[in-house]
Structure 1
C-alpha cells in the first residue's frame, strides 16, 4: 500500500462525534463490526466523510471511498461476510440507486457496442496478469472443491464435472458460449475426444486460446453469441450468462436451443442472486464488469420455459468463496510485478473486488448454479455420467 493511504485512524475525527456516526456504529455492532476497532474485520476510518458517502451513494460511494484510501479493513472478506450476513447493505438505498435500477431494468445494456465493453475494461487487462492469478488452465470461473485441496485441482474437477454432466462422447461437436481462455474446450478435447467451437468478445482471450490449443480440434471465434451458426451435440456456457442481461435471457436460450441437435444438452454455469427485483452492485458494474446483470433463479427458469426441460440443477456457491480467496492469494504474491504498470489505486480496486465478492458468497448472498437443460426431456431420465 502506498504511503498516502496509510493515514492513522487517530488523525480522523472520532466516529462518535455525531448522532449519525453513533447510529451507524450501533448498526455495525449488530454485525459484530466496530469502527476503528482492533479486530481484522473492523473498519478503520482514514478520512472524514466515509459514512456520508456510503449514505449518499450507497455501495458505489462506499467502494469508491475504499479505493481512495479513506477506509480500510485488514480482512475485507470477513468485513463483507458480516455486513451481508446481517443484510446491513439494505439500510443504504440512496435515491440515485433507484435511477440505476430503472436504467438497468428498462434499457437493454447488453447489445450493440456495449457487448464489447466488458472485454475492453476487464478481460483484456493482459494475459500475463491473469496467468499469475488463475490456475494453469486460465479458468476464470468457480472451482469445484468437493475433493480438491488447491485451485488447479478444483478447476480440473469443475471442468470434468461439466464434461460428465454433458455426457460427452468422442466425436461430438461442442459449442462453448463465452469460452474465455479456452480451458473447458481444451480439457474436453484432451480428455473426451470432442471437437469444440468457442465464442468470446475478448481479443486477448482469443489470442491466448488459439496459441495454447493449436494442436487440438478447437476453433475460437471473436464474436457475439448471437452470431452462432451451425448445429452442435452439446452447448456449454460457463461464467458468461452474467453478461447477457435480463432483456436478452430469452434470446440467449433461443440461440442455444437452435444450435443444439434434437438430443442435445445445454449446461449453464452462472452466478446468481437471491432476489429477482434487484440489480448488480453498482460499484462492480462501474469498475469491474460493465453492463453486468446477475440473474435470479426465476429469471433463468422463465427464459428456459417453453424451450428446455430442466434435467439437473446444482448450487455450489460456497465454493466460489474458496476460489476467490485462492485468486486473491495469487494476486497478492504477484502484485509487486504489476505495481509500477497498474498502480496502487488498481491494487485497492482489485482487492476490493475479490474480497468483497468472497464475503458475499460466504454470506450466501450470491449463488453459483449449474443447470443441465434438454430439448424435450431425456428419454428414461437424466443421469450424471460417472467418473
Structure 2
C-alpha cells in the first residue's frame, strides 16, 4: 500500500479544521497536502511513532534530530507556513476590536491544543477512526529512544549552581571548532549590530564596540563580562579601549579557547578568564559590567538576585549593559520556560521574560535604567547569516559533532530567525547605572552619541 501520506494528511486536517499548509511525503513514497512549496518527508515509520508517543513539539523535534523527519526545499518557508499552528492564534475581539498581536501563554496554548484534539476525538467518529488508523500505520509500537543529543534528565533545584553548570555545558561544550564554523572568526554568539552592506564580522565588531561605548570604557577601567563566551568582548575592550577585563563563564571549553586567544594577542596582563558563576564573584568594585546573551539562563525566580549581585559589584557611578532576549508580555505571566525543543536540545532550563519585567527587576535592585535599544531585526539578520554559514559548511559541521547536533542548530537558528522577524521574540540592550553620590549618573545630557 502506498497511501500513508493521505492518511496522515486526513488526520491532521481533521484535528486542525483546516487544510494542511505543507506537503508531506511518507516512507512509502505517497504524498499529500499543499500542492506546492517545501515538503516534509517522513523517512520511516519511526517518525510517526515518535510523534504518537510524545505528541506535540518534542515528538516532532526528536524525529527531526534523529533524521526520521527531513525537509525538502526551503526550511524557512516551511517553518513560516506552520508558524500559525505552533505560535499564533486569532485573538478574541475586545472593546476596540481585535488585538492584532495577542498571544496566549505557552502553557495555555498547550491546553487549548489538547482540549481541541480531545473534543474532536470524542465528538467526531471520523477523527477517532483516523487515530486508530494512524496507530495501526505506526506499528511496530516500541517507543523509540530519544536521540543522544537530547539533554539528560535534570535533577536538583532549578537554577542551582550545579544544575546551571550542567545546562551550560550541554549547550556550549560541544566543540569550539563547530562553533567557529557557525559563528565565524569573531566567535560572538549573540546579536550583531548591522549597517547596510556589512559583513557578519563587521556587524559583530560594531556590536562589541557599541557596548564598549555605551559603557564609556577608558584606559585602566575595570570591566567584568558576565558570560564571556569565547572572550571576544573582553579582548575587544582591552585591545581597543585599554581596560583591565575579567571574563567569567561556566563552560570549560569556552574558557580554554578564550585563554588561548588572550595569550596569542599578548593581553594576559590585562585580561583574565575564569570558570566562575556570577554568584561567586567577590572582587568588586568594577567600573563597568557587560552581560551579553547570558541573562536568559538566570531564571525568573533568580533574576532579582542576579540584578542585586551585579549592582553590588559596581562602584557608585558604574554602568551595566544588559543585552537580553525578550518575549512579548502575556496575561498574568511574568516569565516562561522556552519551547520544548529548545529546552531539550539547545538551552536547558532557559527562561524568557518581557522587557518590562527585566527593567523592573533592575530598578528594584537599585539601578537607574537610562536607555533601552531594541535590536530585534538585527538578531534575525544575524541568525540568517549563521544559518548560511552552517549550510555552507554542513559536512564539516557534521564531522565535528554529529548529524543530529547539526540538525539541532539548523532548526533552532532558522526558527529563531523567524521568531525575531515576526515579533514573537525581541532582543534589547538595557543601559543602567548605579547612581553615585547625590544621584549623579555620570552620563552625558545627550546620551545616544555614546562618546562617538
- Tell me whether the two structures share a fold, i.e. TM-score over 0.5: yes
User: Whole-Å Cα distance in 2 between the matches of residues 67 and 23 of structure 1?
Assistant: 25
Offset of residue 96 of structure 1: 11
Contact (CA 8 Å) 2:327, 2:425: kept in 1 or not? yes
User: Whole-Å Cα distance in 2 between the matches of residues 206 and 120 of structure 1?
Assistant: 12
Contact (CA 8 Å) 2:50, 2:62: kept in 1 or not? no
User: Whole-Å Cα distance in 1 between the matches of residues 259 and 11 of structure 2?
Assistant: 59
User: Whole-Å Cα distance in 2 between the matches of residues 63 and 177 of structure 1?
Assistant: 31
Cross-structure match for 2:97: none
Cα distance change, pair 83–16 in 1 and its aligned pair in 2 (3 A): closer
Cross-structure match for 1:4: none
Contact (CA 8 Å) 1:54, 1:60: kept in 2 or not? no
Cross-structure match for 1:201: 250
Cross-structure match for 1:75: 74
User: Whole-Å Cα distance in 1 between the matches of residues 281 and 320 of structure 2?
Assistant: 14
Contact (CA 8 Å) 1:12, 1:45: kept in 2 or not? no
- Give me the CA root mean square deviation: 2.9
2:344 equivalent among 269, 278, 286: 286
Cα distance change, pair 142–62 in 1 and its aligned pair in 2 (3 A): same
Contact (CA 8 Å) 1:77, 1:357: kept in 2 or not? no
Offset of residue 324 of structure 1: 1.3
Aligned: 1:364 with 2:435: no
User: Whole-Å Cα distance in 1 between the matches of residues 317 and 408 of structure 2?
Assistant: 45
Cα distance change, pair 381–346 in 1 and its aligned pair in 2 (3 A): same
Equivalent pairs, count: 366
Offset of residue 95 of structure 1: 9.2
Cross-structure match for 2:6: 14
Correspondence 1:245-260 to 2 at 5 A: 245-260=299-314
User: Whole-Å Cα distance in 1 between the matches of residues 166 and 197 of structure 2?
Assistant: 34
What SS does the aligned partner of 1:125 have?
coil
Offset of residue 360 of structure 1: 1.3
Offset of residue 325 of structure 1: 1.5
What SS does the aligned partner of 2:353 have?
coil
Cα distance change, pair 223–205 in 1 and its aligned pair in 2 (3 A): same
Give the structure, 1 or 2, with the largest relative contact order (CA under 8 Å, sep 6 or more): 1
Structure showing greater radius of gyration is 2
Aligned: 1:164 with 2:229: no
Offset of residue 308 of structure 1: 1.1
* 1:8-65 residue CA offsets vs partner (Å, 9 max, x unmatched): xx76331576354344372654xxx455446444544555675993896322222223
Aligned: 1:304 with 2:381: no
1:240 equivalent among 277, 280, 294: 294
User: Whole-Å Cα distance in 1 between the matches of residues 177 and 8 of structure 2?
Assistant: 46
Aligned: 1:336 with 2:395: yes
Correspondence 1:180-219 to 2 at 5 A: 180-214=229-263, 215-216=266-267, 217-219=270-272
Aligned: 1:59 with 2:37: no
Cα distance change, pair 340–383 in 1 and its aligned pair in 2 (3 A): closer
Contact (CA 8 Å) 1:264, 1:374: kept in 2 or not? yes
User: Whole-Å Cα distance in 2 between the matches of residues 16 and 210 of structure 1?
Assistant: 53
> Please, what TM-score do these two structures have when normalized by structure 1?
0.85
Moved more, 264-273 or 117-126: 117-126
Offset of residue 234 of structure 1: 0.5
What SS does the aligned partner of 2:18 have?
helix
1:123 equivalent among 161, 168, 172: 172
* 1:222-275 residue CA offsets vs partner (Å, 9 max, x unmatched): 010001122111000001001111111011101110011111110000111113
What SS does the aligned partner of 2:87 have?
helix
Cα distance change, pair 173–17 in 1 and its aligned pair in 2 (3 A): closer
Offset of residue 338 of structure 1: 4.1
